Amino acid sequence: MQKSDIPFLTATELSRLIKAKEVSPVETVEAYLERINEVDPKLNAYITVCGDEAMAQAKESEQALAQGNYRGPMHGIPVAVKDQWWTKGIRTTAGSNILRDFIPDEDATVMTKLNDAGAILLGKTNLTEFAMAYTYHYPFGTPTNPWDLSRMPGGSSAGSGSATSASLCATSLGEDTGGSIRGPASYCGIVGLRPTAGRVSRFGLLGSCWSMDTIGPMSRTVEDCAMTLKAIAGHDPKDQYTWKTPVPDYTAALDGNIKGLRVGILKERLYADHVEDEVKQAILKASTVLGELGANVQEVSLPLVIHDRAISSPITYLEGSMIHHDRVRTMLKDYDHNMRMTLLTGSLIPAQTYYKAQRLREVLRQQFLDLMETVDVLVYPTSASPAPPIVDKPGLGSKEEVKDEMLYGRRTLTALANTVGAPSLSVPCGFSATNLPLGLQIVGRPMDETTIYRVGHAYEQATEWHHMRPPI
């Protein structure tokens, strides 16, 4: 195998080769760093590339293998992480000039878990400021979509989506508050999971909404995604909101068998007026494939879901403004224009509105749980359209744009899972007429990532989409 071919292996393929000592961690990291150097100037996926640190880790990883100290499937696997949580000795910017020179003296728990699993950190990826601002401007430069450099890669985990799709890492981590993993996954043609709230520790996360922030994996295949989640999931004494339940062996469940599983096509999300026809057709074709694989597919209804973004937006904006309360009072001018607008909007939301939104959130959650008694998973589009063009403007201009973005979520259709605390997976399900990826969203019951992985993997293996590479 040529060293230049290594970045195009899946993480699980690479894992097997490293374990068998057919590929070394050192040559793997060298191959990835060379590709990052060649391709990332076009994508701007990374804020910080940890070349020296990665090579040092690779040498330690190789020595451990030689001594028989194999740490598991993630041993020697090069990983990129969203620049939103602490990395000891490596700057953590949260995509903001305010933290341009911030170097933590402690790792976030997900980094500790990755290190313990033997993974190698390649670098920190680009994001909208504090994972909150609109995707029109990035303080560290605008990331692009590897399928079309004139298109958005999605936000806020833009860099992780772009880097993973373009094979600038073997797998990656993002963070999802309202769709920030699944949106970029859909736009960039990769797999992205928003785990159940509490499945993954948030200690060390520079969060934007304490009741919805969730760290999760972004990968090129479902198996890679499952392997990555296994490495980072689990109870953490430093995060009181993490569950104490055992972490399943997600990859063991990927047997391709979904016979008898009940799949509900969510009508309100599939047939919404703003969902483009080619997206609808891709989801219907994907549903047909699931039926051919033995699943029982039927259309189902959750009427309140059309208001999920209107319910979640007051919560995310107000909680975000409270997280930044002290800085807003003293450093407002240091934020980018988009972030200032976001924080000021959140600060104007009355407590009564927040209270009503939380009450409606509980109503929606109960309706969702009732519906999930009748089906095992829900399926519908991840996004209403393929990746939109990159727009050069300061932010949202009109009242209609604000309503579309803040209240209705007309681009991404991801708010339900975050609002009710459920796991949600996006997998590639085709391409638009302009050769841009489309995403199938699979939502499951809380703490049941295993089932949505089973469904996603069965669909993936029955189709060709995961074999497609962007032209870069």
Q: Which residues are catalytic?
A: 82, 156, 180
DSSP single-letter state for residue 150: T
Give the whole-angstrom CA distance, residue 434 versus residue 282.
14
Identify the DSSP state of 244: -
SS3 232: helix
From 167, 206, 199, 190, select the one nearest 45 (Cα to Cα).
Answer: 167
Alpha-carbon distances, residue 136 vs 230, 391, 439 (angstroms): 34, 6, 22
The CA radius of gyration of the chain, in Å to the nearest whole number, is 21
Residue of 452, 16, 15 lying closest to 253 (CA atoms): 452
**389 conformational bin, left if phi > 0, alpha if psi -120 to 50, beta if neither:** beta
Q: CA-to-CA distance for 213 and 85, rounded, in angstroms? A: 12
**Spatial separation of the C-alpha atoms in residues 173 and 181, rounded to whole Å:** 8
Max Cα separation, the chain? 63
**What strands lie across the sheet with 214-219, from one edge to the other?**
46-49, 120-125, 78-82, 171-176, 214-219, 191-194, 424-431, 437-444, 377-381, 262-266, 296-300
